[in-house]
């Protein structure tokens, strides 16, 4: 059996949106060949999410989550292509999971493209000051800042965040796995997180 590295699994997950175990299984079957593993996943119907990403999502569900004690609540709109899929248990489960995740992880944006230029500039400024204060040379500062910006996006963007119920999977990968299973494009269009006494809503 070939030794399948974590970085190889990560590459395949990024390319296909499939789960960690599916990727490891496919890479084992493909003897560590990345391209062949992608073919294996495609045959299993798991790696088809990317092809559906351009399809219009006009149907869907407004999901809710109210935390115990009723001090924290979430409204989220998750869209798909048909009313039929919107009513399935699989889709409803996804919507509930996303609403619960938003309550726990408190994302500020849905995707990286939604982060304002001013927020990005401010974070870069903070991280650069930190790097300089840590005594790192100027020539490597930019590279370190870029690395830390990846962590910033992971913290504030819903799709980049590790799923609270399964941290080895991001919300983006969770959605892609459902796209592969249900055969329709799925998108998150908006959400609001309410916390009692907090006037600055997401």
Q: Does 26 score more than 90 pLDDT?
A: no
Same structural domain for residues 128 and 149? yes
What confidence category does residue 202 fall into, taking pLDDT thresholds of 50, 70 and 90? very low
Same structural domain for residues 97 and 177? yes
Same structural domain for residues 104 and 172? yes
pTM of the model: 0.68
Please report the pLDDT score of residue 2 as a whole number.
62
Same structural domain for residues 58 and 100? yes
CATH for 11:
1.10.8.10
Overall average pLDDT of the 92-115 stretch: 95
What confidence category does residue 80 fall into, taking pLDDT thresholds of 50, 70 and 90? very high
Same structural domain for residues 71 and 161? yes
Model pLDDT for residues 83-96, shown as the tens digit of each residue: 999 999 999 999 99
Q: Does 146 score more than 90 pLDDT?
A: no
* 65 vs 44 pLDDT, higher one: 65
Q: Does 62 score more than 80 pLDDT?
A: yes
Same structural domain for residues 17 and 89? no
Same structural domain for residues 107 and 162? yes
Same structural domain for residues 69 and 95? yes
Model pLDDT for residues 148-188, shown as the tens digit of each residue: 888 899 999 999 999 999 998 999 999 988 988 888 899 99
Please report the pLDDT score of residue 53 as a whole number.
60
Average pLDDT, the chain: 85
What range does the domain containing 22 cover? 6-47
Q: Are 167 and 19 in contact (CB under 8 A)?
A: no
Domain count, the chain: 3
* 200 vs 65 pLDDT, higher one: 65
With respect to residue 201, please indicate whether it lies within any of the assigned structural domains: no
Model pLDDT for residues 66-76, shown as the tens digit of each residue: 988 889 999 99
Please report the pLDDT score of residue 34 as a whole number.
83
Same structural domain for residues 91 and 17? no
Same structural domain for residues 107 and 184? yes
Q: What is the DSSP string of the chain?
A: -----HHHHHHHHHHH---HHHHHHHHHHTTT-HHHHHHHHHHTT-TTHHHHTTS---EEEEEEEE-TTSSEEEEEEEEES-HHHHTSHHHHHHHHHHHHHHHHH--SBSSGGGS-HHHHHHHHHHHHHHHHHTT--HHHHHHHHHHHHHHHHHHHBGGGSEETTEEEEEHHHHHHHHHHHHSS--EEEEEEEEETT-----
With respect to residue 161, please indicate whether it lies within any of the assigned structural domains: yes
CATH for 143:
1.10.286
Please report the pLDDT score of residue 49 as a whole number.
57
């Amino acid at each position: 059996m070939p030794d399948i590295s974590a970085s190889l699994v990560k590459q395949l997950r990024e390319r296909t949106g499939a789960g960690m175990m599916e990727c490891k299984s496919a890479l084992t079957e493909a003897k560590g060949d990345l391209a062949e593993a992608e073919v294996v996943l495609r045959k299993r119907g798991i790696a088809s999410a990317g092809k559906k990403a351009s399809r219009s999502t006009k149907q869907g569900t407004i999901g809710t989550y109210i935390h115990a004690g009723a001090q924290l609540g979430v409204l989220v709109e998750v869209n798909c292509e048909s009313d039929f899929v919107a009513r399935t248990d699989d889709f409803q489960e996804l919507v509930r999971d996303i609403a619960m995740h938003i309550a726990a992880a408190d994302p500020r944006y849905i995707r990286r493209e939604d982060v304002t230029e001013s927020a990005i500039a401010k974070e870069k400024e903070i991280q650069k000051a930190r790097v300089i204060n840590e005594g790192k040379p100027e020539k490597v500062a930019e590279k370190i800042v870029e690395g830390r910006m990846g962590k910033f996006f992971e913290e504030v963007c819903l799709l980049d965040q590790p799923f609270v119920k399964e941290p080895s999977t991001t919300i983006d990968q969770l959605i892609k796995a459902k796209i592969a299973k249900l055969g329709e494009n799925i998108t998150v269009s908006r959400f609001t997180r309410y916390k009692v006494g907090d006037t600055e809503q997401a």
